[in-house]
Chain A
Amino acid sequence: MTDQRRRIVLVEDDDDIATLATMALQDIGGFEVTRFSSGEEALAGVDKAKPDVFILDFSMPGMTGGDLLKELKARPQTANVPAIFMTASVMPSHVAELRKLGAIDVFKKPFDPMTLSDQLRATLAKAGC
């Protein structure tokens, strides 16, 4: 499977950030991005999106990124899809906690849209995805 055909499900409650990340991943990285603005919305539409990777904002009102990942891991269709958290808090202890939840990496906010796709590719390559 080539990068261009990889589908990303991005769950981010902040519209601006979501737009930027989408543009960065689509226009610069060439990924296919499906956006959801909450965990609940993502759970409702994820099956249709058929993602190759999840990028989840950790701090969302209501269902957090962590709660969402638990739900996704519980579903057979999405249990094996690699997930990456985006968070402003990248304290080593916090990162370790997020990894324990099943994330393959944690991206720091604010991200550089120009390098976000490269960062994603490096992470996927490292995880063997």
Chain B
Amino acid sequence: MTAVRGPIFDTVMGRRILAVAAAVMLVLLVVIQVSSVRESRNLRIQLDQTYQHRILLDRLLSLHQDVETGQRGFTITGNPDFLQPYLRALPQIASTFAAVDRASANTGEGSDLAALKQLSAEKIAVSENVIAARRSGSDSGAARLVASGRGKRIMDRFRDEITRLRKIDDARQQRLVLSYSSSNFRTQLWTVILQLLLVGLLLLAFVAYVANLSRLRRLSAIAQDVSNRQVAIFNAAGDAMMVVDQAGCVESLNPAAEKLFQLDAGALIGKSVTEMFEGGTLYIEGFNERRQKRRDGGALSNLLGIRGDDSRFEAEIATSTVTLAEGARTLLLVRDATERNRIERMKNEFVSTVSHELRTPLTSIRGALSLLDHAIGKAMEDKPRQLLKIAKSNSERLSLLVDDILDIEKIGSGKFELDLHETDIREVVERAEEQNRTYAADRNVRLIVTSQPEPLMVVADESRLIQALTNLISNAAKFSPKAGVVSIIVERMDKAARISVADQGPGIPVEFRSRIFDRFAQAAGHESRRAGTGLGLAIAKAIIEQHKGSIEYETALGRGTRFWIDLPLAGKTR
């Protein structure tokens, strides 16, 4: 399938980065705007305060000029009416100073007002003296006071002070205006930068969106392609395929299923698998998994399928679980195995019949050779005796092969029976050892049996168990080196009797291990091919499993192999 890759911002991480960056910029924009508004407001307030301060200073100057005007008019005319500006100004000077104090507190210019207040007090004191002298009728005294010029000097200094304070206000005002402009410029600059970045992000998002759209289209095309192929396979498959929901009902199927069950899709969809098969239970995900062991990877079940006309067919069913968006489903792959099973049975019957037919002449050949050997073997010359020996050993081998084939056929057809009795496994092992002692000795191999001292009771078919053990022991002897030892150990495990057969042979080749218990399994090119049927371990395994036991092995190349059989212990041991 083609891999479809998008731009970096089309990844989950990329999209997150994009979103976070956009959010950060928006937050920054808001922060900058809010901060700018606050700063502007503060600056405006400060400008207002400076302006107010300046107005108040002008007012103070104007009030002191009124004081002077009133004092002069009264001094010249002696008419109290000319005192009106003076009298109106006096109380206002105090309140205006209070206002200037408040304004100065905001502008930070309190220290400068002390000098102004001092001058104001001095000016008022001079004016009061002049007015008092005039009232007392001393025109010349008043004129002298005026002529001294003190009042004028105080007033000049007062005016100068006002001018100085005004200049401070002007400078401050100018600074505030500059600060306001600079702040405004910064805000606008950041706003433009962030807006540009936001536009950039928007562009990236747009590019990612377009790329994603294009990728989605390509993915959709690929998905459609895959889907078309699957549908084609589904429809063209020779085996019936059915998707079963968690209620155990058919959800979808292919034409082969319609043909196999002789029902159209309409009749099959929604039909329960319990109405379609008999003779066992299928594992259906979500339906009966508590009752049925899960079988994955196309494990096979053999049940009878029920056709639409109520006839039956031998169904070989592979089940597997598929996870879909709406939940797990079970896929059933059903094959009509009736004909194949019939042929298989015919083949088995044929093999069985041939083997039976071979057995009788074989019996005669073996018997005749044994009797011939017994009667005249010792009197024969070397070469004829050698030929007789070859004939005997090969007829025995052929006989064993026929016996093994018949056993395997019985196992395969379920006709393999056990004659079970409670028995001491140690005695069975001893008999198996006895029966194989000569075989081992011929190969210069020693069999050593180690059994636990107490009886170890199992329920077993003694002769079949000996057959299984013989297969293991003879294999071990066959693979042992000259003067090798085969250790046979009988021991009690937790809930089982364990019989181990260990050799010092070459070990089992790695490539052969997975097939070791298969029928006719023999390692390719191995020396054992000369002397075995390849059925021994398969038969041994079947015998042990019939006893509800297990057979396992461990092997190391160049160091040997150990097989062990675990058989369940009988209810009690004697």
Which residues of B sit under 8 angstroms from A20, Cβ to Cβ?
363-364, 367-368, 371
A17 & B364 in contact (Cβ 8 Å cutoff): yes
- What is the CA–CA distance of A50 and B362 in the complex, to the nearest angstrom? 32
Which residues of B sit under 8 angstroms from A113, Cβ to Cβ?
367, 370-371, 374
A112 within 8 A of B: yes
Q: Which residue of B lies closest to A109 (CB)?
A: B363
Which residues of A sit under 8 angstroms from B371, Cβ to Cβ?
20, 23-24, 27-28, 113-114
- What is the CA–CA distance of A27 and B374 in the complex, to the nearest angstrom? 10
Which residues of B sit under 8 angstroms from A110, Cβ to Cβ?
359-360, 362-363, 366-367, 399
A60 within 8 A of B: no
- What is the CA–CA distance of A109 and B11 in the complex, to the nearest angstrom? 78
- What is the CA–CA distance of A95 and B417 in the complex, to the nearest angstrom? 11
Task: Name A27's contact: one of B359, B375, B418, B461 (CB within 8 Å).
Answer: B375
B367 & A92 in contact (Cβ 8 Å cutoff): no
B271 within 8 A of A: no
* Binary CB contact string for chain A from 1 to 34 against chain B (1 if under 8 A, 0 otherwise): 0000000000000101100110110011000000
B526 within 8 A of A: no
Q: Which residue of A lies closest to B361 (CB)?
A: A16
B356 within 8 A of A: yes
A93 & B417 in contact (Cβ 8 Å cutoff): yes
Which residues of A sit under 8 angstroms from B368, Cβ to Cβ?
16, 20
Which residues of A sit under 8 angstroms from B356, Cβ to Cβ?
88
Task: Name B419's contact: one of A17, A88, A92 (CB within 8 Å).
Answer: A92
Chain B, range 96-125, C-beta contacts under 8 Å to A: none
Task: Name A92's contact: one of B360, B375, B418 (CB within 8 Å).
Answer: B418
B415 within 8 A of A: yes
- What is the CA–CA distance of A55 and B317 in the complex, to the nearest angstrom? 50
**Number of B residues with CB within 8 Å of any CB on chain A:** 21
Q: Which residue of B lies closest to A90 (CB)?
A: B463
Which residues of A sit under 8 angstroms from B415, Cβ to Cβ?
91
- What is the CA–CA distance of A32 and B417 in the complex, to the nearest angstrom? 36
Task: Name A95's contact: one of B360, B367, B419 (CB within 8 Å).
Answer: B419
- What is the CA–CA distance of A28 and B363 in the complex, to the nearest angstrom? 17
Quote the shortest CB–CB distance from A119 to chain B (angstroms): 14
- Among A16, A17, A28, A110, the most chain B Cβ lie within 10 Å of the Cβ of A110
Q: Which residue of B lies closest to A21 (CB)?
A: B367
Quote the shortest CB–CB distance from B143 to chain A (angstroms): 163
Quote the shortest CB–CB distance from B367 to chain A (angstroms): 4
- What is the CA–CA distance of A28 and B362 in the complex, to the nearest angstrom? 20
- Among A14, A16, A27, the most chain B Cβ lie within 10 Å of the Cβ of A16
Which residues of A sit under 8 angstroms from B366, Cβ to Cβ?
110, 112
Q: Which residue of A lies closest to B368 (CB)?
A: A20
Chain A, range 74-126, C-beta contacts under 8 Å to B: 88, 91-93, 95, 109-114
- What is the CA–CA distance of A31 and B333 in the complex, to the nearest angstrom? 65
Which residues of B sit under 8 angstroms from A91, Cβ to Cβ?
410, 415, 417
Which residues of A sit under 8 angstroms from B362, Cβ to Cβ?
110
Quote the shortest CB–CB distance from A115 to chain B (angstroms): 9
B364 & A92 in contact (Cβ 8 Å cutoff): no
Quote the shortest CB–CB distance from A27 to chain B (angstroms): 7
- What is the CA–CA distance of A27 and B356 in the complex, to the nearest angstrom? 28
- What is the CA–CA distance of A110 and B398 in the complex, to the nearest angstrom? 12
Task: Name A17's contact: one of B363, B399, B410 (CB within 8 Å).
Answer: B363
Which residues of B sit under 8 angstroms from A16, Cβ to Cβ?
361, 364, 368
- Among B359, B367, B370, B417, the most chain A Cβ lie within 10 Å of the Cβ of B367
Task: Name B363's contact: one of A27, A93, A95, A111 (CB within 8 Å).
Answer: A111
- What is the CA–CA distance of A21 and B364 in the complex, to the nearest angstrom? 9
Which residues of B sit under 8 angstroms from A88, Cβ to Cβ?
356, 359-360
Q: Which residue of A lies closest to B410 (CB)?
A: A91
A28 & B374 in contact (Cβ 8 Å cutoff): yes
Which residues of B sit under 8 angstroms from A14, Cβ to Cβ?
360, 364
Which residues of B sit under 8 angstroms from A93, Cβ to Cβ?
417
* Binary CB contact string for chain B from 406 to 419 against chain A (1 if under 8 A, 0 otherwise): 00001000010111
Which residues of B sit under 8 angstroms from A28, Cβ to Cβ?
371, 374
Quote the shortest CB–CB distance from B273 to chain A (angstroms): 36
Which residues of A sit under 8 angstroms from B361, Cβ to Cβ?
16
Q: Which residue of B lies closest to A28 (CB)?
A: B374
Which residues of B sit under 8 angstroms from A114, Cβ to Cβ?
370-371, 374
Quote the shortest CB–CB distance from A99 to chain B (angstroms): 12
Quote the shortest CB–CB distance from B228 to chain A (angstroms): 57
Which residues of A sit under 8 angstroms from B360, Cβ to Cβ?
14, 17, 88, 109-110
Q: Which residue of B lies closest to A95 (CB)?
A: B419
Which residues of A sit under 8 angstroms from B359, Cβ to Cβ?
88, 109-110
Quote the shortest CB–CB distance from B256 to chain A (angstroms): 41
Chain B, range 351-410, C-beta contacts under 8 Å to A: 356, 359-364, 366-368, 370-371, 374-375, 399, 410
- What is the CA–CA distance of A113 and B372 in the complex, to the nearest angstrom? 11
- What is the CA–CA distance of A110 and B415 in the complex, to the nearest angstrom? 20
B367 & A24 in contact (Cβ 8 Å cutoff): yes
- What is the CA–CA distance of A113 and B368 in the complex, to the nearest angstrom? 8
Quote the shortest CB–CB distance from B223 to chain A (angstroms): 60
- What is the CA–CA distance of A16 and B362 in the complex, to the nearest angstrom? 10
Quote the shortest CB–CB distance from A78 to chain B (angstroms): 27
Which residues of B sit under 8 angstroms from A112, Cβ to Cβ?
366-367, 370
Quote the shortest CB–CB distance from B456 to chain A (angstroms): 23
Chain B, range 414-464, C-beta contacts under 8 Å to A: 415, 417-419, 461
Q: Which residue of B lies closest to A14 (CB)?
A: B360
- What is the CA–CA distance of A17 and B356 in the complex, to the nearest angstrom? 14
Which residues of A sit under 8 angstroms from B418, Cβ to Cβ?
92
- What is the CA–CA distance of A17 and B361 in the complex, to the nearest angstrom? 8
- What is the CA–CA distance of A113 and B374 in the complex, to the nearest angstrom? 10
Quote the shortest CB–CB distance from A120 to chain B (angstroms): 15
Q: Which residue of B lies closest to A20 (CB)?
A: B367
Given contacts A16-B361, A95-B419, 15 further A-B contacts (CB under 8 A): A16-B364, A16-B368, A20-B367, A20-B368, A21-B367, A24-B371, A27-B371, A28-B371, A28-B374, A92-B417, A92-B418, A109-B359, A110-B367, A111-B363, A112-B370
23 example contacts (A-B, Cβ-Cβ < 8 A) are as follows A17-B360, A17-B363, A17-B364, A20-B364, A21-B367, A27-B371, A88-B356, A91-B417, A92-B417, A92-B418, A92-B461, A93-B417, A95-B419, A109-B359, A109-B360, A110-B362, A110-B363, A110-B366, A110-B367, A112-B370, A113-B370, A114-B371, A114-B374
